[in-house]
Amino acid sequence: MYEKVNITENHFRALSLFTRGLGAEYYIREVQRLLGISPRTSQLILDDLEKKAVLESRTRGKIRTYGIRKSEAAKDYLVFAEQYKKITFLRGRPMIREVISKITPMIRGLGMVFGSYAKGVEKKGSDLDVFIAGDYDRRGVKKVSELYGIEISVKSYPMEIFKRDIRKDALIREVLSDHVVFSGAEEFVRTVLEDGQD
């Protein structure tokens, strides 16, 4: 018999905050402000995620902060959070959804949208910034770019460089702070948790 796991959209929204940067920590009022929810709801969600072994809290003075716990449960929940981010990002962006669906099979490794689209501040004519950790079909991506009339600006690192420089490379840190993973969410979460935190 499976145990029922109660998880709401606000759980995913809260978890999405913890996928920004490396070792992100938040306190209750920060989560409340960033998500536009009540302090009580914020506390209930954070406490629930701590009970599920996804987050861990520590008290500094009078402030209690929460961060990702290194656990299998955390990895599973963060993969869901990355999928949630992808679903909400593509909702209302049919052309970008098409572009992403066309280029995903061309990527061997991790694929992420970053820049203005990931931040939700894109304008008409904005480039679609894509970060790839691994390899990809350059000609294929260029054809998709021409077909849809959108400039796909790709930054690519070999996977071993991405893993090695995850803490110190300025571009990787920019990508980690605002990203939407569309290819390899599980590997991305594992890499960030294992290689990106002490």
pLDDT tens digits, 78-114? 999 999 999 999 998 999 999 999 999 999 999 999 9
Mean pLDDT of the chain: 91
Q: Are residues 6 and 85 in the same domain?
A: yes
Nearest to 108 by CA among 142, 140, 130, 137: 137
78 and 49 within one domain: yes
pLDDT at position 178 is: 92
Picking from 91, 113, 141, the residue at the C-terminal end of a domain is 91
pLDDT at 18: 87
Residue 16's contacts (CB-CB under 8 Å, 6 or more residues apart) are 81, 84, 85
Note whether 3 and 86 are same-domain residues. yes
Report the C-alpha gap between 19 and 26 in whole angstroms.
12
* 87 and 155 within one domain: no
Instruction: Look at residue 33 in the predicted model and tell me its pLDDT.
Output: 95
Q: What is the rounded distance in angstroms from the CA atom of residue 61 to the CA atom of residue 19?
A: 25
pLDDT of residue 20: 80
The yes-or-no verdict on residue 196 having pLDDT over 70 is: no
Q: Are 127 and 149 in contact (CB under 8 A)?
A: no
| Residue 4 pLDDT level (bands cut at 50, 70, 90) | low
Question: What's the average model confidence in pLDDT over 161-178?
Answer: 92
pLDDT reading at 39 higher than 70: yes
Q: What is the CATH number of the domain that holds 42?
A: 1.10.10.10
The pLDDT confidence band at residue 194, using thresholds 50, 70 and 90, is confident
Give yes or no for a contact between 56 and 64, defined as CB atoms under 8 angstroms apart.
no
Indicate the residue type of 170.
A
Q: Quote the percentage of the chain above a pLDDT of 90.
A: 77
Among 72-81, 130-139, 163-172, 186-195, which is the least confidently predicted range? 186-195
Give me the number of domains the chain comprises: 2
The structure tokens listed for 62 are 């009078």
Distance of CA 37 to the CA centre of its chain: 21
Question: What gap in Å lies between CA 184 and CA 176, rounded to an integer?
Answer: 14
C-alpha to C-alpha distance for 170 and 38, rounded to whole angstroms: 35
124 lies in the same domain as 85: no
- Same domain for 161 and 107, yes or no, is yes
Q: Domain residues for 57?
A: 1-91
At 197, the pLDDT band (50, 70, 90 cuts) reads: very low
Residue whose pair of structure tokens reads 């299998």 in the numeric block: 72
Asked whether residue 136 carries a pLDDT value surpassing 80, the answer given is yes
CATH number at residue 144: 3.30.460
The proportion of the chain whose per-residue pLDDT surpasses 70, expressed as a percent, equals: 94
Q: Give CA–CA dist 161/69, Å, rounded.
A: 25
Residue ending a domain, among 54, 72, 91, is 91
- Backbone φ and ψ for 14, nearest 5 degrees, come out as -65, -45
Instruction: Give residue-wise pLDDT tens across range 20-35.
Output: 876 789 999 999 999 9
